[in-house]
Structure formats: C-alpha cells, structure tokens
Amino acid sequence: MDVLTLSRLQFAVTSMFHFIFVPLTLGLSVFVAMVETRYVLSGNEMYKRMAKFWGKLFLINFALGVVTGITLEFQFGMNWAEYSRYVGDIFGAPLAIEATVAFFMESVFIGVWAFGWNKVGRRFHAFSIWMVALATNLSGLWILLANGWMQHPVGYVLRNGRAEMVDFLALITNPFGLLKFGHQIVSGYTVAAFFVMGISAYHLLKARNREFFKASFTMAAGFALFATIMVAVVGDFHAADVAKTQPAKFAAMEAVWNTCNNAPMHLIAFPDAKNECNLVSALPVPGLLSFLAFHDSNAEIRGITSFPKDERPPVLPVFLSFRLMVGLGTFFIVVAAAAFFLAKNGLLEKYPLFLKLLVLIIPLPYIANQLGWIVSELGRQPWIVYGLMKTSDAVSKSLEMSQVVGSLAGFTLLYGLLGFVDIYLLVKFARKGPEETHVGATGAFGN
Amino acid sequence: MDLHIVWFVLWGVLWAVYFMLDGFVLGAGMLHRVLGRNDSDRRVIINSFGPVWDGNEVWLITAGGATFAAFPTTYALMFSYLYTPLLLLLFALIVRGVSFEFRSKEEGAAWRGCWDWAIVLSSFIPALLFGVAFGNIFSGLPMDQAGYHGSLLALLNPYGIVSGLLFVMLFAEHGALYVAVKSTGDLSHRAENLAKTLWVPLLLVAVLFLGYTNFATKLYDNYLKAPVFLVVPLLAVGALVGVRMFLGAGNALSAFAASCVTILGVVGTGVIGLFPNLIPSSLDALYSLTIYNSSSSEYTLKIMTTVAFIFVPIVILYKIWVYRLFRERVTAEAVAADHEAY
C-alpha cells in the first residue's frame, strides 16, 4: 500500500458513504414536497401527517448527507492537491457555484421547513420543501457537471502548466454531465420510492395506519414507476454517450476484448482478464451491442485489447457492476409496475408475500446506485480526468503514509459508528409510524 | 477592476462572515454543558440556533469552494499542508452536525449526555483549530520550492496557540451573548453574566495577540504603508470595548451586535495584513502564495465574479429574512410543546 492507493481507498470510502444518503435525499425531498402539496390542495390532514412522518426520516438521513459532503470538498485539496492545482481553474468553479447557488438555498429552506410549521403559512411551508428539493437537485446538477468534466473534459486549453477554462458554456452543457445528472436524479427517486413503498408495506403487513400507508404506498408506486422507467431510458442514452466518449470504459462494461463490427450482446458472459478473453459467452443477440451503442447494428465497437495496457480500466469489477446494475434496474421496473397496478386496484393486502418482498428489497436500489458509481469511476481509471491526467499523477506530494493511514482509519471508524446510529434511528422511527410521532411530549422530538 | 483583488476581498469576506455566524454556534456549543444546567436548558440552547446553524456552516463550504475556484494553487497547498489539523476539524464538524440532529431522538440520559459532550468537544475543537490555522497562515508556513517543511507540532507554536485561544475566547463570548439574546429567564441571565466574566480573559488574549502579532508576523507592514486601513483593527478594538459597555448597560442585543463587529474586525485585520499574500512563506517571500501567482485564469475569475455578483446579494437577502423569521426568543415551554424542535 502506498499513499496513492490509500488515498484512492479513502476517496472510495468517503464518497460511497456520502452516497448512501444522497440518493434518498434527492428523491425523498421531492416525495415530501408532493405529499405536502397534496395537503395544501386538499386540506386533508392525513397528508400533513404524511409530510411530517416522511419528513422526519428525511431529516435524519439529510443530516448525515450534509456533514459527509464537506469531507469530499476538503478532500480534493487534502489528498489530491496535484489534481486540484492542475484542474482547479475549471473544476473549482462548479463546486463554488454549487455552494453559492444550491447549498445556501437548501440550508435556509430546510430550516424554515423543519422549524417553521407554526411560523409560516401552509402554502409557504410547502413552497419551502419545494425549494429544498429544487436546491438538492440543483446541487446534484453542479456536482455532476464537475464530474462530467472529469469524465469528458470540454471547454479548456492546456496553458501555464494546467487546464484553463475557455468556454464555460461548454462546461455547463457537457452532454456527459447532463446525461449523468439525469440518470442519477431518477436513480435517487427510485431509492426514495422503494424506501417509502418498503416502509409502507411493513406497516400494511402489520395492519397499522392502513389508510395512511396505503396513500403513501400508492403515491410512491406511481413515483417508482415513473422513476424506474426514466432510469432505463436516460441510462440508455448515457451508455450510448459513454460508448462514444469513453470507449475503454464501454468495452469493459460489456467485456468486449476485440474490436468488431456488428457486435453481439451476450446474455451470459464472464470476462477473464488474465487471458484477455471471456471465459463464458453464451446466448448472443447479433448486432445488439452495436445497435445499443450507436443505434446502428453494423457499428464498430472498440475492444479492450486495442488500448495500451496502462490505459485499461479493471475489466471484471466494471463488467460485473454494470451487469448487476442493469439487472437490478430491470427488476425495479417490474416490481414498480406490479406495485402500481396492485395499489391502484386496491389489491395490496391480498398479496402479503409481495409486501414482504418490498420490505426486503429496500437496500437494493441503494446497491444499484453504488454499482453505477463503481462503473463510472472505476471504469474511468487509470484516468482521473479522462485522457488528460492520470490518477497516479493527481495525489498530493506532501502527504506522508502515516497521515493517510490515520485519516483512513479515522474515517472508517467514525463513519462506521455514525452509519450504525443513523440506521438505528431510521429503523426506529420508520417502525414507530406516524401516530407516535404525532402525540404530545412522548413524540420523537419531544422532551 | 483587478479581479484578483475582488476575489481577495470576497475571500476575506466569506471567512469573516463564516466566523461571525458559525462563531456563535461554536461558542454556544462549547458552553452547552456549562450554561445548560438541565435538559430543558440544553434543548433551548440547541434550538436557539437550530434553524440557522446549517446555513451558517455553508459559509465555510463556500469559502472553501471560492478558494478552490479563484485560487486553486492556494487551495491545493493549504489543504494538503494542513492535512492533519483539517482532518480533526472535519471530524469535529461531522460530529457536531449529527449531534444536533441525533440528540433529541432518544430520551435516555446516557444517550443525551453522550451527545452533549460530543457537542461541547466538536464545538471547541474547530474554534481552536481555526485559530491555530489562521495564526500560522498569518505568520507564514515553512514552504519553499521543495514543498512544505512543517508538521502538526510545528503548527502548535506559541503564536499559533495564542491565535487559537483568541478564537476560542471570541467565539465563547459570542456564543454566550447569543444565548443571552435568544433565551429567556434564568438561562438568559446566566449567559449574560458568563459573557461579562469571559470578557476579561478575552480582552487579555486579544491584547496579547495584537502585541505578539507585531513580532511573529508581517501583518502590520500593510498598515504602515496605508494607515487608512488602521480603521479596521481600531473598529475591532472599539467593538470589543463596546461589548462590555453594552453588557454593563444591560443591553445584550447591542453587545451581541458589537461582538459581531469584533469578529469581522479581527478577521479583517488579519486579511488586510496578508495582502497580497494568501499564505506567506516563512522561509522566503519568493515562495509565498499570492493572489497573483496562485489564482485562476482571468476567464474563470470573470465567470465567478458574475456568479458571485448575482447570487451573493440574493443569498444575503434570504439569510436576513430567515433570521427575522426566527427572531423570537426560544423558551423551554415552546421547545417542550414543539414536536419539530431538536
């Protein structure tokens, strides 16, 4: 282990941990906003209770998302100083804009929303949660524009020994970043929709607060159906863009070793990196891969072997993560469609096994989100900025081994502890249900 | 207009406003166990800044982001050179944020006591470390063409420690005043009295800091060149005296306002003294990071200036609005009755 490996490991730990909370924040803020809007429009108190119940879970999750986000901003300077210096002219801007445009808005309106139930009118209160949702999604946009630039650098020149920005418009219209943003927000909505459906299913199984959780479930099922389909649609465009801009990553995602035209998609495959071939490849659909990538079944797909050895991403983890992510995504569409159908027709409680399934699969969308990031970030290696700067050149020069060992151990311990407490609290309040959070001094925030 | 100077000013303003706003949260957090004699008091203290602390911390994130965008070389070197203190700072900020949220989620005394101490520690550590870090930046970091030659222990030099103490005392005073203004009855009185008590050591540390600065740093050179800027340190000192006068007159709100001015003045004093450096080298001025040799390109500065000039006024407007919205004093009864309170 060296400073580089440990720094990479640390970045993986801190960003993946941060990313346990972000997707739910993205989706649940929108969900709570929709619920509260329904309350404002209908005047039905149940929707107010729904906003409060799901909002409490939102806040517990949000706290960890916020505090772990600061780590990432600091870490670029702490562990990746050479990177920060080389690309700061262009990469720093979206981060600073995110803070100025999104974080202030988010932090102000979350305060108004959480503490303002009796201070502002109900229309304005609903407006504040919409502002939180907007700001959260906006901050995702800026982060993914920054990340999109690392994946597909645009609008820059190399000057004065670094990358300098020459076209801000190119940066903010970078298709890579925009597609990734699109794919990510609907993935976040999927996490939230399955989170709400799963917890609602738990209470429906216990036959508690049936009306409340049926209404929650039905809204979440509609949200899930929309989100899961959008994940696949945008994901398809995103993958096609990756095929164009990052052929090495695309080849690894699909385990294509040799360049070929009319590339088939193997429904079953398993790569063997050592021998640069696939151990197993069966059930080919001719031309499908070429068609998916370039919308032309004769198009050429570059194989991994066409890249120099030191410019290839690790094939096996990228391939497996991608396959598993796509598999889960497809599964989510089916489940969401079934959930929506059953909920709309009032048949939910007739299928307790299906409800149990929904409780059990709450973690799966989280896993799919993490897998997506593994594809994206590991698939980009060995580049930190695709084609421009290698990860190995990006690490801070002044770091000592002991510092990174200490910080990595510290992060792992602290995050492990906080993650444990957070999950404990989420489960506690999710199981409690809305009644307990609503009655007097024994309430969750009470005393 | 020289955009480097614009961004230097903005950089200073962001830090100063951050310390002014988060300073009282850090201060109130440090005094959380001393001022809060029972659970009800402690909840009042936490809820007094509950709706605003997150927004206050965003000034730090923005200060960091602005450093990255406008002065990437400074950002890169400052954050990697100060690795260990920044790490401790990060851990403290993480713990602080979740402590507020988690503390009220269980009733047990052990659970709450645990988070109480987490709040105290995670408020004290950032205050101290910010002071130590800025003290070392004021006096310069040992860096040359080969990089950084310091260590964590080297940061804890006497001047760094005095600066750390100054920040701790400033924020403690600021926090006590905030609690005095935002709470009622006995808690408010105790906070006011504590502010009176803390003021004396604060003044001593401030005098020590100002004197020591003359020997440990070159901050005063700029004031000799352009004495007009002396108005800033004088304002800081005047406001510090004002804090005690207002307290004597029983006007905690004015004392708190004066404390705000003190903090802005102290940070302003340091920042003006640094110009045009962001981080001076204590080895050779040639290797100092200045607003010219560590900045982004003109183009990026222009883009960022446009963004800042559009959005910073908007941010300030809704920040003022939210402080007005939550201007009422927090009472134990209100906290007990409000299910949404911390």
Q: State the DSSP string of A324-371.
A: HHHHHHHHHHHHHHHHHHHHHTT-GGG-HHHHHHHHHTTHHHHHHHHH
For the beta carbon of residue A185, count every other beta carbon within 10 angstroms: 23
pLDDT of A437 above 70: no
Q: Does B271 touch chain A (CB under 8 A)?
A: no
Rounded distance, CA A353 to CA A369, Å? 25
Q: Position B123: which residue type? A: S
Q: Which two tokens stand for residue A305?
A: 């072997």
A/B interface, count of CB pairs below 8 Å: 239
Q: Does B276 touch chain A (CB under 8 A)?
A: no
pLDDT at position A440, please? 38
Closest CA in chain B for residue A413: B91
* Those residues with Cβ within 8 angstroms of residue B9's Cβ, 6 or more apart along the chain or in another chain: none
Q: Does B39 touch chain A (CB under 8 A)?
A: yes
| Closest in B75, B94, B338 to A92, CB measured | B75
pLDDT of A14 above 50: yes
Q: Which residues of B touch A120 (CB under 8 A)?
A: 325
Rounded distance, CA A332 to CA A363, Å? 12
B268, B207, B14, B330: which is closest to A100 by C-alpha? B14
The predicted model gives A17-29 an average pLDDT of: 94
Q: Does B237 touch chain A (CB under 8 A)?
A: no
Rounded distance, CA A106 to CA A59, Å? 12
pLDDT at position B309, please? 92
Bridge partners (DSSP) listed for residue A157: A164
| Closest in B58, B96, B326 to A115, CB measured | B326
- Cβ <8 Å between A159 and B64: no
For the beta carbon of residue B200, count every other beta carbon within 10 angstroms: 10
For the beta carbon of residue A275, count every other beta carbon within 10 angstroms: 9
Rounded distance, CA A164 to CA A149, Å? 12
pLDDT of A447 above 50: no
Residue A113 near residue B322, CB atoms below 8 Å:
no
Q: Which two tokens stand for residue A439?
A: 């009655």
pLDDT at position B108, please? 87
Q: What is the phi/psi pair of residue A385, to 5°? A: -120, 120
For A47-73, write each residue's pLDDT tens digit. 999 999 999 999 999 989 989 988 988
**Cis amide leading into B276 (omega within 30):** yes
Rounded distance, CA B288 to CA B278, Å? 8
* Those residues with Cβ within 8 angstroms of residue A274's Cβ, 6 or more apart along the chain or in another chain: none
pLDDT at position A167, please? 92
pLDDT at position B285, please? 85
- Cβ <8 Å between A96 and B97: no
Rounded distance, CA B245 to CA B252, Å? 10
For A145-180, write each residue's pLDDT tens digit. 999 999 999 999 998 889 999 999 999 999 999 999
Q: Specify the 3-state DSSP secondary structure of A281.
A: strand
Residue B186 near residue B155, CB atoms below 8 Å:
no
A109, A142, A273, A365: which is closest to B52 by C-alpha? A109
Distance from CA of B157 to the nearest CA of A (A): 20
Q: What is the phi/psi pair of residue B330, to 5°? A: -95, 130
| Closest in B47, B51, B58 to A104, CB measured | B58
Distance from CA of B285 to the nearest CA of A (A): 20
Q: Does B183 touch chain A (CB under 8 A)?
A: no
Instruction: Specify the DSSP class assigned to residue B282.
Output: S
Distance from CA of B250 to the nearest CA of A (A): 29
Q: Which residue has the higher pLDDT, A446 or B188?
A: B188
A432, A49, A51: which is closest to A206 by C-alpha? A432
Q: What kind and span of H or E run contains A32? A: helix A3-42
Query: Considering all CA atoms of chain A, what is the largest pairwise distance in Å, rounded to the nearest integer?
Result: 69
Rounded distance, CA B231 to CA B210, Å? 15
Residue in B56, B130, B297 to test binding to A, most A beta-carbons within 10 Å: B297
| Closest in A74, A93, A160 to B86, CB measured | A74
* Those residues with Cβ within 8 angstroms of residue B267's Cβ, 6 or more apart along the chain or in another chain: B12, B15, B16, B19, B134
With cut-offs at 50, 70 and 90, classify the pLDDT of residue A439: very low
Rounded distance, CA A110 to CA B188, Å? 27
Q: Position A53: which residue type? A: F
* Those residues with Cβ within 8 angstroms of residue A353's Cβ, 6 or more apart along the chain or in another chain: none
Distance from CA of A358 to the nearest CA of B (A): 27
Distance from CA of A136 to the nearest CA of B (A): 14
pLDDT of A436 above 90: no
Residue A434 near residue A212, CB atoms below 8 Å:
yes
Tokens 């995050």 belong to residue: A415
Q: Specify the 3-state DSSP secondary structure of B183.
A: coil
pLDDT of A288 above 90: no
Rounded distance, CA B121 to CA B94, Å? 12
H helices of chain B, in order, are: 3-30, 32-35, 39-49, 53-70, 72-81, 83-103, 109-139, 152-155, 158-182, 185-216, 221-225, 231-248, 252-274, 298-325, 332-337
For A358-409, write each residue's pLDDT tens digit. 999 999 999 999 999 999 999 999 999 998 899 999 998 888 888 899 999 9
Q: Which two tokens stand for residue B130?
A: 């910010």
pLDDT at position A438, please? 45
Rounded distance, CA A399 to CA A396, Å? 6
pLDDT above 70: percentage of residues in chain A: 97
Residue B163 near residue B188, CB atoms below 8 Å:
no
pLDDT at position A435, please? 66
Q: What kind and span of H or E run contains A87? A: helix A81-97
Q: Does B303 touch chain A (CB under 8 A)?
A: yes
Residue A235 near residue A228, CB atoms below 8 Å:
no
Q: At what angle do helices B298-325 and A81-97 cross, to 10 degrees?
A: 50
- Cβ <8 Å between B340 and A117: yes
Tokens 């105790």 belong to residue: B190
| Closest in B68, B83, B326 to A96, CB measured | B68
The predicted model gives A89-110 an average pLDDT of: 92
Rounded distance, CA B101 to CA A60, Å? 7
Q: What is the ipTM of this complex?
A: 0.88
Ranges of residues in chain B whose predicted pLDDT is under 70: none
pLDDT at position B154, please? 84
Residue in A108, A125, A159 to test binding to B, most B beta-carbons within 10 Å: A108
CA B55 from centroid of its chain's CA atoms: 14
Rounded distance, CA B30 to CA B34, Å? 8
| A413 exposure class (CB count in 10 Å sphere: 0-12, 13-18, 19+) | exposed
Whole-model pTM?
Answer: 0.90
pLDDT at position B340, please? 74
Q: What is the mean pLDDT of chain A?
A: 90
For the beta carbon of residue B64, count every other beta carbon within 10 angstroms: 25
The β-bridge relationship of strands B143-144 and B147-148 is antiparallel
The predicted model gives A203-209 an average pLDDT of: 89
Q: Specify the 3-state DSSP secondary structure of B206.
A: helix
**Cis amide leading into A382 (omega within 30):** yes
pLDDT of A26 above 80: yes
| B232 exposure class (CB count in 10 Å sphere: 0-12, 13-18, 19+) | buried
Q: Which residues of A touch B79 (CB under 8 A)?
A: 74, 76-78, 81, 84
Q: Position A410: which residue type? A: G
A98, A77, A165, A353: which is closest to B80 by C-alpha? A77
Q: Specify the 3-state DSSP secondary structure of A262.
A: coil
- Cβ <8 Å between B76 and A79: no
Instruction: Specify the DSSP class assigned to residue A78.
Output: H
With cut-offs at 50, 70 and 90, classify the pLDDT of residue A348: confident
Q: Which residues of B touch A168 (CB under 8 A)?
A: 299, 303
Distance from CA of A98 to the nearest CA of B (A): 9
B165, B140, B104, B166: which is closest to B221 by C-alpha? B140
Closest CA in chain A for residue B63: A96
Tokens 């401790």 belong to residue: B88
For the beta carbon of residue A314, count every other beta carbon within 10 angstroms: 13
